[in-house]
């Protein structure tokens, strides 16, 4: 099995996440793409918003009818506490030996990779696919075992480039719009997600 992992807070999940998933599905020849919502990000302060279980529900709604190859991976939410990618990969590798893993992310995350917990170990277990974001060129960070590759072979340690999503959406901006103008459509949210946010008075 070749499986992509798209992690994040998904606070809230938006069309940029779905576009990134579509790029990964189209470009990487993966059998499955799993969305991995974090319980608590170790890389940024808690921005507020719904708890992990509510974000998991919103993400499930965002994926409803999207692509049958996509599914939720609730491992980090069920584990609780700070969500470290290396811990998630170790757990998945134990649970599903023989699977080839590739992380999917935007190019704005690349400069911070060397500061991730046990970053070198991450790329002994997985590769990474990076979609171009405005103002963030794709450059291989200085990490042992990580190298650029034209395509993903299924082996760990490869960094492959994806096209841009052409959607410069940020969850932080969407949260601000939802708080300041709750009756307005902030743009960029799947209709079913916006409907639940309004019916359950989230992000107020």
pLDDT tens for each residue of 83-140: 999 999 999 999 999 999 999 999 999 999 999 999 999 999 999 999 998 788 898 9
154: confidence class by pLDDT, cuts 50, 70, 90: very high
Measured CA to CA, the distance from residue 56 to residue 37 in angstroms comes to 7
How do the domains of the chain map onto residue ranges? 2-167
Q: What's phi and psi for 28, nearest 5 deg?
A: -105, -5
pLDDT given for residue 114 in this prediction: 95
Measured CA to CA, the distance from residue 2 to residue 10 in angstroms comes to 23
Q: Which residues pair with 160 in a beta bridge?
A: 129
Residue 8 confidence (pLDDT) above 80: yes
pLDDT given for residue 67 in this prediction: 96
Say how far residue 144 (Cα) sits from the centre of its chain.
23
The residue with tokens 């499955």 is: 32
pLDDT tens for each residue of 40-74: 877 766 667 889 899 999 999 999 999 999 999 99
Take residue 96 and report the two structure tokens written for it: 């599903």
Measured CA to CA, the distance from residue 53 to residue 41 in angstroms comes to 15
Q: What's the whole-model pTM score?
A: 0.94
Cis peptide before 12 (omega within 30 of 0): yes
Measured CA to CA, the distance from residue 188 to residue 173 in angstroms comes to 11
Say how far residue 199 (Cα) sits from the centre of its chain.
26
Domain 2-167 = CATH 3.40.50.620? yes
Q: Which ranges of 28-170 would DSSP assign to H, the alpha helix?
A: 52-63, 75-79, 85-95, 119-125
Say how far residue 107 (Cα) sits from the centre of its chain.
12
pLDDT tens for each residue of 166-176: 877 788 889 99
Measured CA to CA, the distance from residue 198 to residue 17 in angstroms comes to 20
Question: Helix 191-199 and helix 52-63: axis angle, to 10°?
Answer: 150
pLDDT given for residue 133 in this prediction: 85
Measured CA to CA, the distance from residue 77 to residue 97 in angstroms comes to 22
């Amino acid at each position: 099995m070749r499986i992509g992992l798209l992690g994040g807070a998904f606070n809230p999940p938006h069309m940029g996440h779905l576009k990134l998933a579509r790029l990964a599905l189209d470009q990487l020849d993966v059998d499955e793409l799993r969305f991995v919502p974090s319980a608590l990000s170790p890389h940024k302060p808690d921005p507020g918003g719904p708890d992990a279980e509510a974000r998991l529900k919103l993400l499930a709604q965002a994926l409803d009818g999207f692509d049958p190859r996509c599914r939720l991976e609730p491992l980090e939410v069920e584990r609780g506490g700070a969500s470290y990618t290396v811990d998630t990969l170790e757990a998945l590798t134990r649970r599903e030996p023989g699977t080839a893993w590739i992380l999917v992310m935007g190019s704005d995350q690349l400069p911070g990779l060397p500061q991730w917990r046990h970053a070198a170990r991450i790329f002994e277990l997985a590769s990474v696919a990076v979609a171009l974001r405005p103002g963030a060129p794709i450059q291989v960070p200085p990490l042992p075992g990580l190298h650029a590759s034209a395509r993903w072979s299924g082996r760990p340690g490869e960094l492959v480039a994806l096209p841009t999503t052409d959607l410069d959406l940020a969850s932080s901006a969407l949260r601000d719009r939802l708080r300041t103008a709750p009756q307005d459509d902030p743009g960029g949210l799947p209709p079913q997600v916006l409907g639940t946010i309004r019916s359950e008075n989230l992000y107020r």
